[in-house]
Amino acid sequence: MTQESVAVELRGIGKRFPGVIANHDVDLTIRAGTVHALIGENGAGKSTLMKILYGVQKPDDGTIAINGREVALRTPTDAIANGVGMVFQHFMLADNLTVLENMVLGAEKLHGIGDRARAEIRRISDAFGFGLQPDVLVEKLGVADRQRLEIAKVLYRGACIIILDEPTAVLVPQEVDALFANLRELRNAGNAVLFISHKLDEVLAIADDITVMRRGTTVGTADPHTTTKRELAELMVGSELPSPETEESTVTDTVELTLANVTLADEFGRNLLTDVSLSIHRGEILGIAGVEGNGQAELVETIMGMRIPGGGTIHLGTEDVTHWHTRKLREAGIGYIPEDRHRHGLLLDAPLWENRILGHQTQAPNAKGPWINRSGARKDTQRIVAEYDVRAPGIDTPARALSGGNQQKLIVGREMSGDPVLLIASHPTRGVDVGAQAAIWDHIKRARRAGLAVLLISADLDELIGLSDTIQVILRGRLVGTFDPASVTPQDLGAAMTGGQAA
């Protein structure tokens, strides 16, 4: 079934972003006629590597050879000319156009826009079992059909090396089975399919070859016929020892946050959170471990009043806050470090002092009665910049001009202001440099000693183990296990996170 010819050969690939090494020393060999799984934890560098292979990102180091020939991929057009196509995590289709129109858009030269195009779409659809109907409007299509259309689009453009970045993240199990049937057809026709995932069951079900990435580099390959889920989980999280930072416990008897049987469903009635119960005491850090997309974001948004739970209750102290909205929760003393600092944490074009106000516009020192207190906010921004070592020319600098680590320190400083009782921290040190990471950890630990309750969501297992007083694992919207950070290993967590072990 598999052929020995090499479709893609990446050697020594490196890619740096300001403050982050996204890829270094990456070696990857993809055989033609195979499904090759690229696995790794969130942040391991998978998407960056694939964007390099698709000409979206330019590598700083290394070489790319396709079908034995070294190539320079400066743009996606170069990649497509070399037979490389990519389906992104977020689809790029025009809703108000038909399947056919989406297919030919930007590729009119290939088969025109009429009968020849229609025939080619038929051919692709029939060859791989896509079931595409050329004249249906894309807005009428479900997620799985949109995905098939995206795959068909790259085939239409002549791709024989097809990259799918976390394609199953958006699918329900039956849709995953159907996708895998399509992928097998693609492989059997001699294509190389690159399947990015962190779901180990799926990887073992579909892959011919597996390459594992960790912390920006490829750390090994595995044979899906002989490897276990547990071994893969260990490769993914690494066997390095955590740097245990857990200091003496400061956990008190006073419960600050309680969730009782919280459930949340999406618009189709599928459960995003099921029966989530937890409590966090003052002086306690509760860490949540989980593979991204298992309900962490929904949990945070539910606590923060951005989503309304379908069942269950949330208490802050003794107050029932289940139906409170975000502003009231913030005013009651919840600090929030959001997962995506660019979308939810900062106004990039606004100066630092205006960013100090963001989300806290009704609170001192930013407000005086109904008015914004400009000088109060400016003065307090000076304080944050000094206390949190935010390296910036001044408080009138736009947030965009700061490095990721300094942006994050500003957010942490803002969210710790006014002595919150509870801090919700989503990936507080993701993408920041080592110095800023240590500084952020110190601030969180200091606040914990002073009685702050913290909900810490992180993909960095060393961070979770080092900081947390208790760790719970979330899997498919349920809390499935509780672990003591003093004794748990990243391997144990990795196994529980992927359902590799009954916890």
Ligand X SMILES: Nc1ncnc2c1ncn2[C@@H]1O[C@H](COP(=O)(O)OP(=O)(O)O)[C@@H](O)[C@H]1O
Sign of CA dihedral 21, 26, 32, 38: negative
Q: Which is nearer to ligand X, 45 or 335 (CB)?
A: 45
Q: What DSSP state is assigned to residue 325? A: -
- Interacting residue with ligand X among 24, 26, 33, 40 (CB under 6 A): 40
Site for ligand X, residues 340 to 369, rule: CB under 6 A? none
Site string for ligand X, 12-31 (x = CB under 6 A): -----x--x-x---------
- Interacting residue with Mg ion among 20, 35, 36, 47 (CB under 5 A): 47
Using CB distances below 5 to 8 A depending on partner kind, what does residue 45 bind out of ligand X, Mg ion, none? ligand X
CB of 248 to ligand X, least distance (A): 32
CA separation for the pair 279, 258 (Å, rounded): 4
Give the pairing type, strands 69-71 and 61-66.
antiparallel
CB of 356 to ligand X, least distance (A): 24
CB of 41 to ligand X, least distance (A): 7
CA separation for the pair 206, 181 (Å, rounded): 9
| SS3 labels along 183-232 | HHHHHHCCCEEEEEECCHHHHHHHCCEEEEEECCEEEEEECCCCCCHHHH
CA separation for the pair 156, 151 (Å, rounded): 9
CA separation for the pair 393, 401 (Å, rounded): 9
Using CB distances below 5 to 8 A depending on partner kind, what does residue 42 bind out of ligand X, Mg ion, none? ligand X
Site string for ligand X, 429-458 (x = CB under 6 A): -xx---------------------------
Rule CB under 6 A: say whether 295 interacts with ligand X: no
Q: What DSSP state is assigned to residue 400? A: G
Stretch of 40-48, 131-139, 439-447, 464-472 lying at the interface with Mg ion (CB under 5 A): 40-48
Q: Which is nearer to ligand X, 102 or 217 (CB)?
A: 217
Nearest-10 crossing angle of helices 143-156, 115-128: 110
* Contact criterion met (CB below 8 Å) for 311 and 263: yes
Q: Which is nearer to ligand X, 414 or 427 (CB)?
A: 427
- Interacting residue with ligand X among 32, 36, 48, 276 (CB under 6 A): 48
Using CB distances below 5 to 8 A depending on partner kind, what does residue 40 bind out of ligand X, Mg ion, none? ligand X
Site for ligand X, residues 72 to 101, rule: CB under 6 A? none
Stretch of 44-52, 109-117, 245-253, 396-404 lying at the interface with Mg ion (CB under 5 A): 44-52
* Contact criterion met (CB below 8 Å) for 94 and 101: yes
Rule CB under 5 A: say whether 48 interacts with Mg ion: no
- Count of CB atoms within 10 A of residue 240's CB? 10
Stretch of 47-55, 66-74, 108-116, 443-451 lying at the interface with Mg ion (CB under 5 A): 47-55
Stretch of 37-45, 301-309, 319-327, 409-417 lying at the interface with ligand X (CB under 6 A): 37-45
Rule CB under 6 A: say whether 167 interacts with ligand X: no
List Cβ neighbours of 282 (8 Å cut-off, separation of 6 or more).
Answer: 251, 252, 254, 255, 256, 421, 451, 452, 453
Cis preceding-peptide flag for 365 (omega within 30 of 0): yes
Rule CB under 6 A: say whether 405 interacts with ligand X: no
- Count of CB atoms within 10 A of residue 94's CB? 12
CB of 234 to ligand X, least distance (A): 17
Rule CB under 6 A: say whether 47 interacts with ligand X: yes
User: Which of 206, 182, 186, 185 has the alpha carbon at shortest distance from 196?
Assistant: 206
- Closest residue to Mg ion, judged by C-beta, is 47
CB of 327 to ligand X, least distance (A): 29
CA separation for the pair 267, 293 (Å, rounded): 17
Q: Which residues bind ligand X (CB under 6 A)?
A: 17, 20, 22, 40, 42-48, 430-431
